[in-house]
Structure 1
Amino acid sequence: EEIRKLNLENETLKVELQLKGKKDEEIAHLKQQLEQYQTDNLQLNSAQACYIFLLFSFDSKISKATFVEMEKLKKDIESKDNEIQKIKQEIQ
Protein backbone atom coordinates (compact mmCIF):
# COMPACT_ATOMS: atom_id res chain seq x y z
CA GLU A 1 0.00 0.00 0.00
CA GLU A 2 2.79 2.42 0.93
CA ILE A 3 4.69 1.59 -2.27
CA ARG A 4 1.57 2.25 -4.34
CA LYS A 5 1.13 5.66 -2.68
CA LEU A 6 4.77 6.52 -3.29
CA ASN A 7 4.52 5.45 -6.94
CA LEU A 8 1.39 7.57 -7.36
CA GLU A 9 3.10 10.55 -5.74
CA ASN A 10 6.14 9.99 -7.97
CA GLU A 11 3.98 9.94 -11.10
CA THR A 12 2.19 13.09 -9.94
CA LEU A 13 5.51 14.85 -9.45
CA LYS A 14 6.68 13.75 -12.90
CA VAL A 15 3.54 15.22 -14.50
CA GLU A 16 3.94 18.45 -12.53
CA LEU A 17 7.57 18.67 -13.65
CA GLN A 18 6.55 18.18 -17.29
CA LEU A 19 3.89 20.88 -16.97
CA LYS A 20 6.40 23.25 -15.38
CA GLY A 21 8.81 22.59 -18.26
CA LYS A 22 6.10 23.38 -20.80
CA LYS A 23 5.14 26.52 -18.89
CA ASP A 24 8.79 27.63 -18.80
CA GLU A 25 9.02 27.07 -22.57
CA GLU A 26 5.85 29.08 -23.12
CA ILE A 27 7.14 31.93 -20.94
CA ALA A 28 10.43 31.96 -22.86
CA HIS A 29 8.49 32.07 -26.13
CA LEU A 30 6.28 34.92 -24.86
CA LYS A 31 9.35 36.86 -23.72
CA GLN A 32 10.88 36.40 -27.17
CA GLN A 33 7.64 37.61 -28.78
CA LEU A 34 7.58 40.60 -26.44
CA GLU A 35 11.13 41.54 -27.39
CA GLN A 36 10.24 41.25 -31.08
CA TYR A 37 7.11 43.39 -30.64
CA GLN A 38 9.12 46.01 -28.76
CA THR A 39 11.71 46.04 -31.56
CA ASP A 40 8.97 46.29 -34.20
CA ASN A 41 7.28 49.06 -32.25
CA LEU A 42 10.53 51.02 -31.96
CA GLN A 43 11.09 50.65 -35.71
CA LEU A 44 7.51 51.73 -36.37
CA ASN A 45 7.96 54.79 -34.12
CA SER A 46 11.21 55.68 -35.89
CA ALA A 47 9.61 55.25 -39.30
CA GLN A 48 6.71 57.46 -38.29
CA ALA A 49 9.05 60.17 -36.96
CA CYS A 50 11.11 60.12 -40.17
CA TYR A 51 7.96 60.18 -42.26
CA ILE A 52 6.58 63.22 -40.43
CA PHE A 53 9.97 64.97 -40.49
CA LEU A 54 10.24 64.50 -44.26
CA LEU A 55 6.74 65.81 -44.79
CA PHE A 56 7.50 69.03 -42.96
CA SER A 57 11.06 69.31 -44.29
CA PHE A 58 9.76 69.57 -47.82
CA ASP A 59 7.11 72.01 -46.60
CA SER A 60 4.43 70.15 -48.49
CA LYS A 61 0.78 70.33 -47.72
CA ILE A 62 -0.57 67.30 -45.94
CA SER A 63 -3.29 65.87 -48.09
CA LYS A 64 -6.19 63.87 -46.76
CA ALA A 65 -4.52 60.68 -47.97
CA THR A 66 -1.36 61.50 -46.02
CA PHE A 67 -3.41 62.29 -42.93
CA VAL A 68 -5.12 58.91 -43.25
CA GLU A 69 -1.71 57.23 -43.53
CA MET A 70 -0.50 59.03 -40.41
CA GLU A 71 -3.61 57.98 -38.52
CA LYS A 72 -3.05 54.40 -39.67
CA LEU A 73 0.53 54.53 -38.36
CA LYS A 74 -0.72 55.86 -35.03
CA LYS A 75 -3.25 53.03 -34.83
CA ASP A 76 -0.54 50.50 -35.71
CA ILE A 77 1.61 51.86 -32.87
CA GLU A 78 -1.30 51.72 -30.44
CA SER A 79 -2.07 48.17 -31.55
CA LYS A 80 1.54 47.08 -31.02
CA ASP A 81 1.57 48.77 -27.61
CA ASN A 82 -1.61 46.90 -26.68
CA GLU A 83 -0.08 43.60 -27.82
CA ILE A 84 3.01 44.31 -25.73
CA GLN A 85 0.87 45.04 -22.68
CA LYS A 86 -1.13 41.81 -23.17
CA ILE A 87 2.03 39.75 -23.44
CA LYS A 88 3.50 41.43 -20.36
CA GLN A 89 0.32 40.56 -18.46
CA GLU A 90 0.46 36.95 -19.69
CA ILE A 91 4.06 36.66 -18.55
CA GLN A 92 3.18 37.93 -15.12
Structure 2
Amino acid sequence: RGQGGPERMLEVLACVEPCRSRPFSELESAVLRRSANLSGCLCVLLGMDDERRRFLARLRGLGVPVLACAVGRGAPEPGVHWLEPGRMPESLARLA
Protein backbone atom coordinates (compact mmCIF):
# COMPACT_ATOMS: atom_id res chain seq x y z
CA ARG A 1 0.00 0.00 0.00
CA GLY A 2 2.04 2.88 -1.26
CA GLN A 3 5.32 1.68 0.21
CA GLY A 4 7.34 3.28 -2.57
CA GLY A 5 7.25 3.72 -6.29
CA PRO A 6 8.36 1.46 -9.11
CA GLU A 7 11.99 2.44 -8.56
CA ARG A 8 11.88 1.20 -4.98
CA MET A 9 10.23 -2.05 -6.09
CA LEU A 10 13.00 -2.65 -8.62
CA GLU A 11 15.63 -2.03 -5.92
CA VAL A 12 14.00 -4.60 -3.67
CA LEU A 13 13.64 -7.15 -6.48
CA ALA A 14 17.29 -6.70 -7.43
CA CYS A 15 18.32 -7.87 -3.94
CA VAL A 16 16.03 -10.89 -3.71
CA GLU A 17 17.72 -14.26 -3.39
CA PRO A 18 16.14 -17.72 -3.47
CA CYS A 19 15.55 -19.53 -0.20
CA ARG A 20 16.00 -23.25 -0.67
CA SER A 21 16.31 -24.13 3.02
CA ARG A 22 12.60 -23.70 3.84
CA PRO A 23 9.51 -25.12 2.14
CA PHE A 24 7.41 -23.02 -0.21
CA SER A 25 4.41 -23.70 2.05
CA GLU A 26 5.90 -21.36 4.69
CA LEU A 27 5.96 -18.46 2.25
CA GLU A 28 2.47 -19.34 1.05
CA SER A 29 1.10 -19.33 4.60
CA ALA A 30 2.78 -16.02 5.46
CA VAL A 31 1.39 -14.29 2.37
CA LEU A 32 -2.12 -15.73 2.70
CA ARG A 33 -2.30 -14.69 6.38
CA ARG A 34 -1.70 -11.11 5.26
CA SER A 35 -3.92 -11.20 2.17
CA ALA A 36 -6.52 -8.83 3.64
CA ASN A 37 -3.81 -6.16 3.88
CA LEU A 38 -2.58 -6.57 0.30
CA SER A 39 -3.61 -4.19 -2.46
CA GLY A 40 -1.86 -6.51 -4.94
CA CYS A 41 0.87 -9.11 -5.07
CA LEU A 42 3.85 -9.38 -7.40
CA CYS A 43 4.97 -13.01 -7.29
CA VAL A 44 8.37 -13.88 -8.73
CA LEU A 45 8.62 -17.66 -8.61
CA LEU A 46 11.48 -19.98 -9.49
CA GLY A 47 9.68 -22.15 -11.99
CA MET A 48 6.09 -23.31 -11.89
CA ASP A 49 4.52 -26.40 -10.39
CA ASP A 50 1.16 -27.45 -8.96
CA GLU A 51 1.95 -26.03 -5.51
CA ARG A 52 2.69 -22.61 -6.97
CA ARG A 53 -0.37 -22.74 -9.26
CA ARG A 54 -2.58 -23.47 -6.21
CA PHE A 55 -1.00 -20.57 -4.32
CA LEU A 56 -1.70 -18.15 -7.17
CA ALA A 57 -5.27 -19.45 -7.49
CA ARG A 58 -5.85 -19.00 -3.75
CA LEU A 59 -4.57 -15.42 -3.82
CA ARG A 60 -6.74 -14.59 -6.81
CA GLY A 61 -9.69 -16.35 -5.18
CA LEU A 62 -9.30 -14.00 -2.22
CA GLY A 63 -9.63 -11.07 -4.59
CA VAL A 64 -5.97 -10.06 -4.52
CA PRO A 65 -4.74 -8.75 -7.89
CA VAL A 66 -1.71 -10.86 -8.85
CA LEU A 67 1.11 -10.32 -11.32
CA ALA A 68 2.83 -13.71 -11.52
CA CYS A 69 6.27 -14.18 -13.04
CA ALA A 70 8.11 -17.48 -13.22
CA VAL A 71 11.85 -17.58 -13.81
CA GLY A 72 12.81 -20.26 -16.30
CA ARG A 73 11.46 -21.65 -19.52
CA GLY A 74 8.09 -23.27 -19.59
CA ALA A 75 4.93 -23.79 -21.54
CA PRO A 76 2.61 -20.78 -21.76
CA GLU A 77 0.20 -20.59 -18.84
CA PRO A 78 -2.69 -18.19 -18.36
CA GLY A 79 -1.77 -15.44 -15.93
CA VAL A 80 1.94 -16.33 -15.73
CA HIS A 81 4.74 -14.36 -17.39
CA TRP A 82 7.93 -16.34 -17.98
CA LEU A 83 11.22 -14.55 -17.30
CA GLU A 84 13.96 -16.30 -19.25
CA PRO A 85 17.43 -16.40 -17.66
CA GLY A 86 19.89 -14.66 -19.95
CA ARG A 87 17.04 -12.73 -21.58
CA MET A 88 15.72 -10.67 -18.67
CA PRO A 89 15.51 -7.31 -20.49
CA GLU A 90 13.39 -8.84 -23.27
CA SER A 91 11.32 -10.86 -20.79
CA LEU A 92 10.64 -7.81 -18.61
CA ALA A 93 9.80 -5.67 -21.66
CA ARG A 94 6.94 -8.07 -22.47
CA LEU A 95 5.33 -7.16 -19.12
CA ALA A 96 4.84 -3.53 -20.18
Identify the TM-score tier after normalising by the shorter chain: under 0.3
| More strand, by proportion | 2
TM, length-normalised to structure 2: 0.23
**Structure of greater relative contact order (alpha carbons < 8 Å, 6+ residues apart):** 1
How high is the TM-score relative to the length of structure 1? 0.23
Structure exhibiting the larger radius of gyration computed from Cα positions: 1
Q: Which has the higher helix share?
A: 1
